[in-house]
Amino acid sequence: MNGLTQWFNEFGETFYKCFIRENRYQLLLDGIGVTLKVSLLAVFIGIIIGLLIALCNLSKNKFLRGIGKVYTDVIRGTPSVTQLMIIYFVIFATVNWEKWIIAAIAFGINSGAYVSEIIRAGILSIDKGQTEAGRSLGLNGYQTMIRIVIPQAVKNIFPALCNEFIVLIKETAIVGYVGLVDIQKAGDFIKSSTFIAFMPLIGTAIIYFIIIKALTIGLGFIEKALRKSENR
């Protein structure tokens, strides 16, 4: 019993030292804001780029297909941390933008390559008869794609897009390389200030888990709403 009491006392002291003293919890709260801002803007950019590249890859134009192939090959073939540093320290080195915006652009460009394959697979999963039906109604190729094919493909690609969003949140843990203080970097600061590794690392892991779990539940409700129109 005394041993258990001593363990609780030591745990409380460690918790206080890591998160309460000097308002160190504020670092984590600010880090959560940075992570969410970067992730949300990145997924928005990634979806736009992914849609455009998917359309390029599906195009009959060899030049557009070449652009799509080169983009996906380069982005998928290089580490995201390298892309982040190239975009931040080279491409946007002279641009006076906030760090989190540049980081979000870097992650959006990276995510776009993967999203493009998700969208391409979703579009190809739609029966060709839908395209033929659209053309028979007098729609051109672009109108058929936008009004008929893509709305139906959304239901197929939504779960994969959700997974990409979740992966993106975890990938943003490398933004510390460009001086941003996200959740992971905040935990590192606490670790270096207190010389305690266990509590800050477990704390950051729990925060990531809660964010991703809440996101998974919320996206699950959206997916169910999208599936309501289907006959089972």
The residue ranges of every structural domain in the chain are 27-227
The confidence score (pLDDT) of residue 1 equals: 59
**pLDDT of 117 over the 90 cut:** yes
Q: How many CA atoms are closer than 13 Å to the CA of 185, on its beta-carbon side? A: 18
pLDDT tens figures, 194-213: 999 999 999 999 999 999 99
Dihedral angle sign, alpha carbons of residues 73, 79, 83, 89: negative
Q: Which pLDDT belongs to residue 30?
A: 95
CA atoms within 13 Å, Cβ hemisphere of 44: 9
* Confidence band of 229 (pLDDT split at 50, 70, 90): low
Q: Where do the H-state alpha helices sit in the chain?
A: 2-15, 25-58, 62-76, 80-86, 99-124, 128-136, 141-144, 150-171, 183-194, 198-227
What are the backbone angles phi and psi of residue 24, rounded to the nearest 5°?
Answer: -70, -20
Contact yes or no for 173/183 (Cβ under 8 A): yes
pLDDT value at 22 more than 80: yes
Burial of 56 (0-12, 13-18, 19+ CB in 10 A): buried
Asked if the model's pLDDT at residue 231 lies above 60, the reply is no
Identity of residue 85: M
Q: What is the C-alpha to C-alpha distance for residues 157 and 122, in angstroms, rounded to an integer?
A: 5
CB of 185 within 8 A of CB of 207?
no
Pairwise CA distance, residues 51 & 35, whole Å: 24
Lowest mean pLDDT among 77-91, 142-156, 163-177, 179-193: 142-156
Say whether 98 sits in a helix, a strand or coil: coil
As given in the structure block, the two tokens for residue 44 are 């928005």
Q: What would the mean pLDDT of 120-142 be, rounded to a whole number?
A: 77
User: What CATH number labels 27-227?
Assistant: 1.10.3720.10
Burial of 84 (0-12, 13-18, 19+ CB in 10 A): buried
What are the DSSP calls for 102-168, one per residue? HHHHHHHHHHHHHHHHHHHHHHHTS-HHHHHHHHHTT--HHHHIIIIIHHHHHHHHHHHHHHHHHHH
Structure confidence by residue, pLDDT tens digits, 73-115? 999 999 999 999 999 999 998 889 999 999 999 999 999 999 9
- Average pLDDT over all residues of the chain: 89
Query: Which pTM was predicted?
Result: 0.88
